[in-house]
């Protein structure tokens, strides 16, 4: 490998209980974006509360490096009027809009029909907000977002969403108790203070509101099988890995109630897992990236459609067998 300047890292205690004692879990490398890092990263499991964390992890000053301008969440293909163009995106949009419709229905059960103030944490360029607004419940949604990237936030604003820029757990602009529904879809694993992140969500939720989290599930068959090559590691951008037990502990710590737990297919993790596994075994080879493209998998193509469809079916079969997949969703509700 070419020489790359090491990433500045910091040693961190458990972000949930503060303990420093931890046991090694597994290790791996960045394999999705070239030129970021050649070094090995390590996940450890807290010996007190069992939460899994990256330690050491990149320093906050390295965020612009580990999330390069070409990072996939900042570069979705634009769509017209929030409508996805490719078949792959139409299938994804259907899954996301079904989810938002189900969440709004559950809010109605307690609060009654009315405007739903929705906040998407890590909204990127507003792609998901566009899909939500184009859904069957879109006319009822007041769409808001918070995003680290100013350029991505500008795209979301241009699409008509209210978006602030900054780190969610440090935000002071958003209105306390101002949101009925807060979405953090594969975000909490990226932040340095996930407990503060969840605490901020609890502060921003209106009574009866729902904080919907989606995050990698480190207690899945693919996680245990691939270990350091598991796609859910997303080295070095995922800093905390959860399972149902540690997510429930997190909810209790911030005064939220567990409303629902479910497991969802995540075909991207399978693509990343096989790319990492093959790249480690055939260093310097280009064909693993052609067979399992870690970034181009987000671009519409017949290959992407075939891979995502195949691994979605595989995940559904595994869920039938084990009851879990590599992606967990947990909905937390603020008591009335």
Q: Is the pLDDT at 21 greater than 60, yes or no?
A: yes
pLDDT of residue 233: 98
Whole-angstrom Cα distance, residue 179 to residue 103? Answer: 13
Q: How far is CA 98 from CA 102, 105, 243, 267, 305, in A?
A: 6, 11, 24, 18, 20
Per the DSSP assignment, residues forming a β-bridge with 58 are: 9
pLDDT band at residue 81 using 50, 70 and 90 as cut-offs:
very low
User: Taking residues 330-336, what's their average pLDDT?
Assistant: 95
Picking from 26-30, 39-43, 113-117, 187-191, which range would have the lowest pLDDT averaged per residue? 113-117
Q: Is the pLDDT at 77 greater than 80, yes or no?
A: no
User: The tokens of 170 are what?
Assistant: 């440090």
| pTM of the full structure | 0.91
pLDDT of residue 309: 92
User: The tokens of 126 are what?
Assistant: 């507003």
Supply φ then ψ for residue 182, to 5 degrees: -120, 125
User: Taking residues 215-219, what's their average pLDDT?
Assistant: 98
Which domains occur in the chain, in start order? Answer: 72-265+329-333 (3.40.50.150)
Q: Is the pLDDT at 1 greater than 80, yes or no?
A: no
pLDDT band at residue 87 using 50, 70 and 90 as cut-offs:
low
Mean residue pLDDT of the chain comes to: 92
The pLDDT > 70 percentage for the chain reads 94
Supply φ then ψ for residue 28, to 5 degrees: -170, -170
Picking from 50-64, 74-88, 157-171, which range would have the lowest pLDDT averaged per residue? 74-88
Model pLDDT for residues 232-274, shown as the tens digit of each residue: 999 999 999 999 999 999 999 999 999 999 999 999 999 999 9
Whole-angstrom Cα distance, residue 179 to residue 156? Answer: 18
pLDDT of residue 114: 79
pLDDT band at residue 68 using 50, 70 and 90 as cut-offs:
confident
Whole-angstrom Cα distance, residue 13 to residue 159? Answer: 40
């Amino acid at each position: 490998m070419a020489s790359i300047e090491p990433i500045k890292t910091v040693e961190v205690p458990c972000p949930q209980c503060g303990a420093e004692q931890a046991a090694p879990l597994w290790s791996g490398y960045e394999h999705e974006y070239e030129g970021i890092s050649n070094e090995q990263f390590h996940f450890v499991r807290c010996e007190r509360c069992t939460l899994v964390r990256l330690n050491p992890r990149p320093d906050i000053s390295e965020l612009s490096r580990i999330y390069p301008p070409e990072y996939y969440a900042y570069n979705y293909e634009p769509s017209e009027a929030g409508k996805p163009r490719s078949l792959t995106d139409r299938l994804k949009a259907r899954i996301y809009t079904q989810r938002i419709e189900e969440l709004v229905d559950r809010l109605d059960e307690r609060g009654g029909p009315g405007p739903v103030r929705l906040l998407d944490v890590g909204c990127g360029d507003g792609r998901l907000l566009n899909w939500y607004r184009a859904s069957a419940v879109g006319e009822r949604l007041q769409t808001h977002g918070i995003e680290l990237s100013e350029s991505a936030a500008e795209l979301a604003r241009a699409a008509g969403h209210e978006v602030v820029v900054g780190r969610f757990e440090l935000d002071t602009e958003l209105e306390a108790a101002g949101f009925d529904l807060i979405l953090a879809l594969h975000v909490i694993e990226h932040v340095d203070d996930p407990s503060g992140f969840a605490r901020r969500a609890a502060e921003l939720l209106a009574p009866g509101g729902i904080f919907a989290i989606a995050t990698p599930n480190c207690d899945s068959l693919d996680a245990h099988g691939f270990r350091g090559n598991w796609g859910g590691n997303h080295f070095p951008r995922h800093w905390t890995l959860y399972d149902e037990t540690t997510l429930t502990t997190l909810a209790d710590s911030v005064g939220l109630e567990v409303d629902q737990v479910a497991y969802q297919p995540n075909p991207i993790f399978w693509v990343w897992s096989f790319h990492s596994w093959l790249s480690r075994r055939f260093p310097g080879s280009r064909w693993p990236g052609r067979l399992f493209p870690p970034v181009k998998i987000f671009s519409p193509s017949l290959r992407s459609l075939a891979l995502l469809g195949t691994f979605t079916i595989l995940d559904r079969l595994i869920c039938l067998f084990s009851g879990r997949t590599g992606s967990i969703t947990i909905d937390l509700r603020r008591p009335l």
